[in-house]
């Protein structure tokens, strides 16, 4: 069944609020998974609905490990989004991915620790497929949009997510290169995992801000340099969203991620935890009903 597009945007460093929404309204949305990073700004770009949340909160008070990724995805689902687009700052692990370029990420390696990685748990166990964590359709569309906005875009790239908040050591950076990673960041996971569990197609437009620490002849990463590149390229990121709205087909056809929970639930119905079931009223609303 065809649906209207409603894009949920999770903005990273330097993209806190203004993404050019028309008729914008800021609303507070509560989540049973805790406090999200902040309110959701809802509006539209042309005919397309968008809902925006700043990943680190307005003014960047939240470090990567303190972001409530579950609550952020949950509140976007409650707002009715059909797809999630993450805009993130990343470091480059490959020479050809230069600062100022954008990468339409297509694969991920998760090196984070200590973060809540699932909406499910004891009393309701689910195993979703994650071989391809990024939605190819949305990734292609936002890549096209970024190019039309004037950005240099690399189609495909492997993102390694680290815990942070420190940047990598030189040894770690060289190791990630050997693993085949192309860019490095601190927030893509468990964000992409949770989007899949919420049956929301996920894409990431990554803004390269620096070369990571693998270049022995250069100094390590400095946050001032990162933020300078983010500021210089924020308009390109906003422009990519404007062009994306123009490129989206009039009607949204189904995505495989829309039914990611089909066959994923393995807990016997008589063993379901009613409290957890109730918390999943948005994330798994397609499958779950209030238990008797």
Residues 90 and 165 sit within 8 Å (Cβ to Cβ)? no
- Is 210 annotated as catalytic? yes
d(CA 120, CA 154): 34
| C-alpha pair distances (Å), 48 with each of 42, 45, 142 | 11, 5, 14
Asked whether 87 and 15 are in contact (CB, 8 A), the reply is yes
Q: Which of these is catalytic: 110, 144, 210, 258?
A: 210
What is the enclosing helix (H) or strand (E) of 22? Answer: strand 22-27
Cα–Cα distances (Å) from 284 to 9, 42, 188, in that order, read 20, 22, 21
The angle formed by the CA atoms of residues 60, 61 and 65, to the nearest 5 degrees, is 95
DSSP string, 53-101: EETT-TT----GGG--HHHHHHHHHHTT-SEEEEEEEEEESSTTS-TT-
Tokens of 15: 């993209």
Give me the residues paired with residue 160 across strands. 109, 184
- Catalytic hit among 74, 101, 182, 212: 212
Whether 212 is catalytic:
yes
Structure tokens at 63: 């470090």
Coil, strand or helix at 42: strand
Q: Tokens 């999200």 map to which residue?
A: 36
Three-state secondary-structure class, residue 166: coil
Burial of 172 (0-12, 13-18, 19+ CB in 10 A): middle
Residue 110 CB neighbour total at 10 angstroms? 18
Task: Extract the runs of DSSP E, i.e. beta strands, from 188-288.
Answer: 202-211
Residues annotated catalytic, as ranges: 210, 212
């Amino acid at each position: 069944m065809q649906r209207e597009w409603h894009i949920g945007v999770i903005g990273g460093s330097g993209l806190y609020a203004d993404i050019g929404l028309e008729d914008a309204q800021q609303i507070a949305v509560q989540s049973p998974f805790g406090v999200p990073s902040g309110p959701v700004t809802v509006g539209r770009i042309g005919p397309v609905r968008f809902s925006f949340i700043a990943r680190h909160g307005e003014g960047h008070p939240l470090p990567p490990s303190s972001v409530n990724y579950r609550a952020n995805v949950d509140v976007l689902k409650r707002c009715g989004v059909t797809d999630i687009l993450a805009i993130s700052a990343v470091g480059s692990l490959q020479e050809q991915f230069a600062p100022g370029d954008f990468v339409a990420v297509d694969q991920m390696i998760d090196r984070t620790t200590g973060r809540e990685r699932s909406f499910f748990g004891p009393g309701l166990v689910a195993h979703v497929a994650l071989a391809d964590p990024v939605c190819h359709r949305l990734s292609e569309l936002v890549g096209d949009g970024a190019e039309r906005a004037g950005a240099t875009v690399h189609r495909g790239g492997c993102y390694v997510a680290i815990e942070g908040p420190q940047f990598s050591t030189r040894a770690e950076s060289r190791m990630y290169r050997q693993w085949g990673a192309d860019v490095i960041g601190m927030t893509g996971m468990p964000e992409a995992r949770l989007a899949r569990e919420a049956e929301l197609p996920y894409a990431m437009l990554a803004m390269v801000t620096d070369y990571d620490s693998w270049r022995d002849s250069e100094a390590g990463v400095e946050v001032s340099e990162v933020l300078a590149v983010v500021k210089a390229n924020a308009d390109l990121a906003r422009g990519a969203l404007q062009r994306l709205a123009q490129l989206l087909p009039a009607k949204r056809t189904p995505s495989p991620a829309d039914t990611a929970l089909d066959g994923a639930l393995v807990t016997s119905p008589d063993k379901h935890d009613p409290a957890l079931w109730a918390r999943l009223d948005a994330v798994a609303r397609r499958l779950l009903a209030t238990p008797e």
